[in-house]
Amino acid sequence: METLEITPVILCGGSGTRLWPLSTPERPKQFLKLDGQASMLAQTAARMCDDDKAGLRFAQTLVVGSVRHRDMIRDEVPGARRILEPFGRNSAAAVAAAALAAPEDALLLVLPADHSILRPDLFRKAVGAGAAAARDGHIVTFGITPSFPATGYGYIDIEPGETCVRKARKFVEKPLLDKAQAYLDSGHYLWNAGIFLFRAGTMLDAFRTHAPEILDNVTRALPQAIATQEESEIDAGVFDACPNTSIDYAIMEKFPSVMAVPVEMGWSDVGDYKALWELSEKDADGNVLMGPVTATGCRNCYIRSEAGPLSVSGLTDKIVIATGDHYMACDMAEAQSVKTLASAASK
């Protein structure tokens, strides 16, 4: 089997508030050691290790992130090249920057920095399976075989069939529950995990056709020597005018030959504390207790202190978080409303 070289491109600019107060604008989710061991960013990078079985080698990682997180990016992915944005302009601009920084023939694998993948071997296998299509000029997306009618993700409608690489027919927005159920039942809808593989040249052509304004802006905003620098900063004065558009909207929904590879790899976007609780190792009572926590008579709770001692008693289905700056307690059913608490707290 031929061995292909893949360049991981980690999109690290997110500033989610759904794991607030653990996650903050200063230290968003991808920089947190949610499992107490390694940051999600470091895990994302580590996942992309050479894999003979999958026929993959990985070139130097490229991280696109915020200039305010420069040091954390350097610490978490020490060997990576960095493109630093002065502020976020969404994923289309970040992908364009990555494509401009790479040789035309490089195969770029775009990866969100803050997802959890329990079976990276299956992921790499899928990447290996999709690589030929990417080399042939397709944009290849890796979609998650849905396990429940999720209303929190976008979906990809793919051609029915048994082959592992199939044509993606349509990208659709987050559905309501009945539609999500129909997608699940159909067997040919995947969750859009924002993971893409393509030739740099393919993506640049796609931008020229479908989003020339973004490409033009990013080209001007990047330093001339982008292809050779270890660290490049995007010019704020230019970048300010860049359209703020997702890669899905700017390119994927318009590009005529997107292929999709369905994967079942224990994926989670760890979108809220409930998801984090589900992913985490629990004690016999279903509790996740992290940091200096004393719990008695609690069940199915996520209790974590990153600061002083925290004592809890008689709680069921609750989230309690203490950091040096903030304390938060809510019902597990309210996990999605944490971002509301975060924005209320920042006022």
Q: How far is the CB of 318 from a second copy (least distance, A)?
A: 7
Collect all residues with Cβ–Cβ distance below 8 Å to 6 and sequence separation of at least 6. Answer: 48, 56, 57, 58, 59, 107, 108, 109, 127, 131, 197
Q: How far is the CB of 135 from a second copy (least distance, A)?
A: 49
Other C-beta atoms closer than 10 Å to the C-beta of 288 total 21
The beta strands (E) that lie in the chain are given as: 4-11, 56-58, 62-66, 81-85, 107-112, 116-117, 139-144, 155-158, 166-172, 189-199, 231-233, 258-263, 267-268, 288-290, 293-296, 302-305, 310-313, 318-322, 327-331
Q: Which is nearer to a second copy, 244 or 296 (CB)?
A: 296
Q: Which is nearer to a second copy, 4 or 332 (CB)?
A: 332
Q: How far is the CB of 24 from a second copy (least distance, A)?
A: 12
Residues that bind a second copy (CB under 8 A): 21, 294, 296-297, 305, 307-315, 318, 320, 322, 324-331, 333-334, 337-338, 340-342, 344-345
Collect all residues with Cβ–Cβ distance below 8 Å to 20 and sequence separation of at least 6. Answer: 326, 328, 338, 339, 341, 342, 345
Q: Which is nearer to a second copy, 228 or 311 (CB)?
A: 311
Q: How far is the CB of 272 from a second copy (least distance, A)?
A: 12
User: CA–CA separation, 322 vs 123, rounded Å?
Assistant: 34
Q: Which is nearer to a second copy, 37 or 313 (CB)?
A: 313
Q: How far is the CB of 336 from a second copy (least distance, A)?
A: 10
CB-based burial label for 37 (10 Å; 0-12, 13-18, 19+): exposed
Q: How far is the CB of 29 from a second copy (least distance, A)?
A: 18
For residue 117, the cross-strand partners are 267
Q: Which is nearer to a second copy, 107 or 315 (CB)?
A: 315
Q: Which is nearer to a second copy, 264 or 331 (CB)?
A: 331
